[in-house]
Structure 1
Amino acid sequence: MDNNVDKLKNKLLKLIDLDKSFEVFGSESHKYKLNPCLSEAEIQKFEFHFHVKLPNEFRKFILEIGNGVAGPGYGFLGLNVDNLMELNSSESDFFSQSFNLQDEWNDLDLLKETNGSKASAYFDQKFIKGSIAIAEYGCGIQARLVISGEERGNIWIDDRTNEGGIYPLTSHCAAFFHDDPEMDTYMYESVEETKEALSFYEWYENWLNRAINQVVQFG
């Protein structure tokens, strides 16, 4: 058993015990429930079909903790193997292609209107290839796990719906998303900004730590 898996399990149990009234954002809907874990065979089915190897942290989580739901935002999405297997043939290499971004990206010139409507170039799927959605933060903001390319295993944010571009989920960024927006002062303001994206475990633990802190201090 991975020590990190045990640590995440224990912190989740602590949060469940502390937040019985579901004060943490999103918890009222998922109620800290977890979907059943996937089997090794189910994961290999996805990997074989899409010619990709899932990042180890994510893989262990859905094997040993749960395949969704309790988690950041409106909940951890997990890996819906059956739905993803239904992608048409033209999309079958989406996950195996490298995620090419290494720095934040937001080319708003691609949004210039063409014939009275917004150009679709800004929202082209090529910018998020090699990644899967793992959480929704609301207002169209997605957390995506990179599964192919140099950023493999790290979390990026797709905020193009709000013209915010695509950028790495840093510790400062995670604190912004994981703090309670109804608090008078965001605790994230004291977090030093960095450029490095969080890994899957770091992302999930960041949510657990900040949720526990929120309940203890403001619950």
Structure 2
Amino acid sequence: MKKKHVAQIKCVKRKLILAKKADKNFRVFGSKYHKYFIDRVVTEDEVANFEQEYKITLPSCYRSFLTQIGNGGNSYANSAAGPFYGIFPLGERISELIEFPEEYLNQPVNIYPGMTDESWTQLTQRIQEEEDISDDDFDKEMGKIYSGILPIGSQGCAYIQAITLNGANKGRVVNLDIDIDGEKPKFAYENNFLDWYERWLDEIISGDLIKDRPTWFGFCMGGTDRELIGKYQDSTNEEYKIECLVGLLQKAKLNMETIQIIEKECSNPSPVLSNLALQLLTKTDYKLAKNKLKEKYTIEPLIVFQCLFWYAKDASEDWIPEIKVLLSERNIDPKLFNFVTYVVKECKTNSSILLQPFTEHENEKIRRQAGYILKELKHKTKAN
């Protein structure tokens, strides 16, 4: 084990215990399967045999995990505790991406962080366009796309997590949609497997991942709220700033200094940044966000009703006057109509009379939505 990993391995072992205590009811996605259990470590000889078989050298961060923390466990495919359904045992499920891993695991990696849509389309072009591609050619193309990539865990459905085995990004974790028609690769922000794994533990201990729904760990920028808001303020790149705010949206709570900065950013001249800031403020402190929401309503009512539905359902009744105005407009945008009706459903006031005319609207989507919400309101009235 490299000396640089010694302290981190000790830290990860300690945090595994703390994470299990923090998530004692197994609310973190996948934890009810792995239960934070990791089986015995593998020996250096076992790792060496695996490397020799596939003519590869495992990244030291991943190797240290296997030989110093453990290998496999009780989750799906005997996976060890880890993000989503855990970490595959060494040598298991290595054909998730390519049919003949022995031919491609030792080849140069062709995917990379920040890969453009154009580059991804070019890399997958033959598979996408040739409907009659032979099985052999399909396997070769998949080998080219995912060469040098080792699957290390399942995220459910067609999604997996994998690790790069060579090149400039050796040791980094990448999120993959193995449905080739799906999303392009999304690299985790951490520089190596151990940093990624430790971040997962940190976000369990902090409570950020303790939710009764999938949280898509590793798809957003990590760090404490102070770190993320600091990066946001230090950057002049809008795309990077967006990533910082999206990362903040995953936080269970924010400190007051961060909230005050976010409040000011609701007036940012960039519509994307101001809208994200408004989402954050609504999620964190509705009372503080209310005036900002009222201001935004006069410009972009859709953003307001999205914020209300996503983060402030309990405050729906505050918006009855605006709901009445919007539902008096026959030419309302269908998407706005959907979110207004979602909020209507959360109100104590029954607004069925306002929705009834829309059951005969010329737009089919609006008619269907009006009918659906009216049924929901009827059930709600009976239940009460």
TM-score range for the pair, normalised by the shorter chain length? 0.7 to 0.9
Alignment partner for residue 8 of structure 1, among 7, 12, 25?
Answer: 12
Q: Is residue 2:120 matched to residue 1:95?
A: no
Q: CA deviation at 1:95?
A: 1.7
Q: What SS does structure 2 have at the residue aligned with 1:15?
A: helix
Partners of 2:208 and 2:171 in 1: CA distance: 29
Question: Are the counterparts in 1 of residues 33 and 85 from structure 2 also a CA contact under 8 Å?
Answer: yes
Aligned equivalent of 1:208 = 201
Distance of 1:168 and 1:217 partners within structure 2:
23
CA deviation digits over 1:62-113, x for unaligned, max 9?
00101131000111113127x76xxxxx642322111122342531754246
Structure 2 unpaired stretches of 5+: 73-79, 95-99, 213-384
Question: How big is each residue's C-alpha offset from its partner over 1:149-193, in whole Å with a ceiling of 9 and x where there is no partner?
Answer: 2221111121242610223222xxxxxxxxxxxxxxxxxxxxxxx
Tell me which residue corresponds to 1:136: 154
Match of 1:147 in 2: 165
CA displacement at 1:122 relative to structure 2: 11
The residue type paired with residue 204 of structure 1 is Y
Distance 1:28 1:217 in 2: 12
For the 8 Å contact 1:141–1:157, the answer to whether it is kept is yes
CA RMSD in angstroms, aligned pairs only: 3.0
**CA-to-aligned-CA distance 1:122-162 (integer Å, 9 cap, x gap):** 97132111121112112211111011222211111212426
Percent of paired sites with the same residue:
27
Correspondence 1:156 to 2:166: no
Deviation at residue 10 of structure 1 after TM alignment: 0.8
- Evaluate the alpha carbon distance shift between residue 80 and residue 163 of structure 1 in structure 2; reply closer, same or farther with a 3 A threshold: same
1:167 aligns to 2:160 (yes or no):
no
Q: In structure 2, how many angstroms separate the alpha carbons of the residues matched to 1:130 and 1:169? A: 17
1:13: how far off? Answer: 0.7
Cα pair 1:95 1:147 within 8 Å, conserved: yes
Work out whether residues 31 and 85 of structure 2, in 8 Å CA contact, stay in contact via their aligned partners in 1: yes
Residues 1:121 and 1:114: Cα distance change in structure 2 (over 3 Å): farther
TM-score by length of 2: 0.44
**Is 1:64 aligned to residue 82 of structure 2?**
no
Please tell me the residue identity of whatever aligns with 1:206: R
Quote the offset at 1:217 in angstroms: 7.5
1:38 aligns with 2:55: no
- Secondary structure, in 3 states, of the residue corresponding to 2:103? coil
Residues 100 and 123 (structure 1), Cα distance of their counterparts in 2 relative to 1, 3 Å cut: closer
Q: Which has the higher strand share?
A: 1
| Contact kept? 1:123, 1:160, Cα under 8 Å | no
Match of 2:143 in 1: 125
Aligned residues of 1:76 and 1:135 also touching (Cα < 8 A): yes
TM-score (norm 1): 0.73
The secondary structure found in structure 2 opposite 1:93 is helix
Q: Aligned in 2, Cα 1:55/1:159: closer, same or farther, shift over 3 Å?
A: same
In 2, Cα distance between the equivalents of 1:137 and 1:54? Answer: 22
Among 114, 133, 149, which residue is 2:131 paired with?
A: 114
Q: Distance in 2 between matches of 1:202 and 1:96?
A: 24
Q: Does the CA contact (< 8 Å) of 1:100 and 1:149 recur in 2?
A: no
Is contact 1:37–1:67 with CA below 8 Å preserved after alignment?
Answer: yes
Evaluate the alpha carbon distance shift between residue 215 and residue 150 of structure 1 in structure 2; reply closer, same or farther with a 3 A threshold: closer
The alignment covers a number of residue pairs equal to 186
Q: Is the 8 A contact 2:27 2:211 kept in 1?
A: no
- Where 2:104 maps in the other structure, the secondary structure is coil
Aligned to 1:61, the other structure's residue is in SS state: helix
Name the SS of the counterpart of 2:57 in structure 1: coil
Task: Tell me how far apart the structure 2 counterparts of residues 96 and 56 of structure 1 sit (CA, whole Å).
Answer: 16
CA distance in 2, matches of 1:215, 1:28: 17
